[in-house]
Amino acid sequence: MLQYDSEEAVAQNLKDAGCGEELIEEFRNCCRQGRKQEGMRLLGKHRNHLLEAMHREQKRIDCLDYLIYQMKKA
């Protein structure tokens, strides 16, 4: 499969990364069937989803920081 101790370790890593059970099982199937590129595509897609969410939250933080700055300046 991968250079991990076990499939359980991979599954835990994916859970820790916010992957759902469906994605985890799909990734495991790719690995079992030797479809490395497809597995990497799944991981990349989830990574992009997380990155987009992080950017949305950063914009919200920036808005609050600006409001706090304006209030301190006034």
pLDDT, tens only, 56-65: 999 999 999 9
pLDDT of residue 4: 56
* Number of other residues whose CB lies within 10 A of the CB of residue 35: 14
The chain-wide mean pLDDT, for the chain, equals 93
Kindly state whether residue 1 falls inside one of the protein's structural domains.
no
pLDDT > 90 in the chain, percent: 88
The whole domain housing 39 covers 7-73
- Residue 11's Cα: distance from chain center in Å? 13
Whole-structure pTM value: 0.80
Kindly state whether residue 2 falls inside one of the protein's structural domains.
no
Kindly state whether residue 41 falls inside one of the protein's structural domains.
yes
Q: Report the run of H or E that residue 56 belongs to, with start and end.
A: helix 36-73
pLDDT of residue 7: 85
Domain count, the chain: 1
